[in-house]
Amino acid sequence: MTKIGIITGSTRPGRNSLQVAQWVKELADKRGDAEYEIVDIAEYNLPLYNEPISAAYSQNYVTPEAIPWSKKIAELDGYVFITPEYNHGITSALKNAIDYLYPEWNNKAAGIVSYGSSGGVRAAEALRVVLAELQVASVRTHPAMSLFTDFVNMNEFKPADLHVASVNTLLDQVVAWSTALQPLRNKA
């Protein structure tokens, strides 16, 4: 069965990304079309990226925390990134986690669920550019949550009902694309 990781995009105390990830997983688990799991970047305790050789050229990671991170990302067929928008971009923690790896990401599909004062749309666009470099195909559908209308006091996630259909369309696309890219992953 296709394995999709729902990746949190923040590690800070009081973060909202875990609430959003749990909601997406609840919707995903009702589908039965793939195996979904939350991948919380906070649990990997990745230090600031400092590998001596880029992951594009070597997977001989010297940072001990990189090894379980590599294993987890490699075993997944696709991803749903939950990203807040910080200063018109993705969080430094998410960028750091992404930068640790290279071939583990290749030839997979990803969807993006964002949130922020403007729905996190600028962070989602920034993330698409990063994913393209990693040979990750990002799907079109993009649920964007507002801190003002989908959160109570900007910290308790209460999404509008309209987002359910959008998340399900995103999941349809991520599963389809992840499955379609399987032959490319098998060649590697």
Closest CA to 90 of 115, 127, 117, 116: 127
Residues 78 and 56: their CA atoms lie apart, in Å, by 19
Output the pLDDT for position 186.
86
Per-residue model confidence as pLDDT tens digits over 52-111: 999 999 999 999 999 999 999 999 999 999 999 999 999 999 999 999 999 999 999 999
* 49, 99 Cβ separation under 8 angstroms: yes
Residues 38 and 19: their CA atoms lie apart, in Å, by 11
In the chain, % of residues over pLDDT 90 = 98
The pLDDT mean for the chain works out to 97
* 3, 37 Cβ separation under 8 angstroms: yes
DSSP states along 49-117: P--SS-TTT-----STTHHHHHHHHHH-SEEEEEEE-BTTB--HHHHHHHHT-STTTTTEEEEEEEEET
Residues 2 and 8: their CA atoms lie apart, in Å, by 19
pLDDT at 175 over 80: yes
Output the pLDDT for position 187.
79
* Cα angle value 130/88/49 (rounded, 5°): 45
pLDDT at 188 over 80: no
Please tell me what DSSP assigns to residue 4: E
Per-residue model confidence as pLDDT tens digits over 129-156: 999 999 999 999 999 999 999 999 999 9
Helix (H) or strand (E) holding 179: helix 162-180
pTM over 0.85: yes
Output the pLDDT for position 24.
98
Residues 97 and 87: their CA atoms lie apart, in Å, by 18
SS3 178: helix
User: Domains in the chain, ordered, with CATH?
Assistant: 3-186 (3.40.50.360)
Output the pLDDT for position 184.
94
Residues 133 and 14: their CA atoms lie apart, in Å, by 31
60: left (phi over 0), alpha (psi -120 to 50) or beta: beta
